[in-house]
Amino acid sequence: MTPYPAAHWHARNFILLQLASFILLLSWAMPATKPLWHAIDEPVFRLLNGSLGHLPAWDFLWALLSTRIADLLAALIMLCSLILGGIMFDRHHLLRALLTFICLLVFTLVVRTLFTRAVDTAGLQHASPSVFFGDGFSLSRAYPWMEEIMEIKDRSSRSFPGDHASVLLLWTAYLSLFVRGKRLLLVWLTGIFLLLPRLVAGAHWLSDNLAGGGFVVMQTLAWGYYTTAGKQVYRLLNALAIPCIRLARKIPGINRLAIIRLEQY
């Protein structure tokens, strides 16, 4: 399977993703089923955040993983999986894989923006568990110097949907379309690990990530990968990438990368 947006509508996959995403969202929003999410959200927060405040080294680790610097590390991991041949993709498919993922990120930005506005308008927005309960362990208070320098993400007045989780879940779902076996397991373990810091710190409820982030990801894949809209954005990105790659071939070190060296247009 080649990483490339659909050249024509895939009605079956599109409809299935639409149905699944709205069923998931309604399960979180409807009064009849929302208590089920609450029954999961609070215990998860108490379990993960409750692990803090006992071992300084453990607290320091999660404080560091909850900073903007750690976000850059996550971005680097995702980037390496898409530009280094042999990790997830054959080297001849690297450019397509990278541009397709960037294309999906564009759709994610649009979907997330519209979805967040709809949630706000509907009055469904809520604060993070660290703000809602106010009695959890605060990493930003425990490490004020780190908070000042790198900003620790451990609180939010508007935590739904999980923006950070949307990108990580998209990366995980995207790679899951192409890899199997041990590499698939590695992708999911990495995705879960990168999702944990915000949950441990109390910046998001589990439902922010699963219901909110899951809805955004399924809508992104439906519109960006299984309709012709994705292909149009891909073509634009490809046109912009060609001169950039030609320039990169003149830069020592960078020109050794397979994604730069090979003709993949």
Which pLDDT value is given to residue 173? 96
Higher pLDDT, 6 or 236: 236
Mean pLDDT of 54-82: 94
Tens-digit pLDDT profile for residues 130-179:
999 989 999 999 999 999 999 999 999 999 998 899 999 999 999 999 99
* pLDDT, mean over the chain: 91
Sign of the alpha-carbon torsion through 34, 171, 152, 115: negative
Question: What is the per-residue pLDDT across 192-226, written as a single tens digit (0 to 9) for each?
Answer: 999 999 999 999 999 999 999 999 999 999 999 99
Q: Which two tokens stand for residue 157?
A: 């007045």
pLDDT band (50, 70, 90) for residue 84: confident
Q: In this structure, how many other beta carbons lie within 10 angstroms of the beta carbon of residue 113?
A: 10
Mind giving me the DSSP string for 30-92?
STTTHHHHHHHHHHHHHHHHTTSSS-HHHHHHHHHHTBHHHHHHHHHHHHHHHHSTTTSS-GG
Task: Write down the pTM of the prediction.
Answer: 0.92
Q: Which amino acid is at 188?
A: W
Q: How far apart are CA 129 and CA 48, in angstroms?
A: 12
Q: How many residues does the chain have?
A: 265
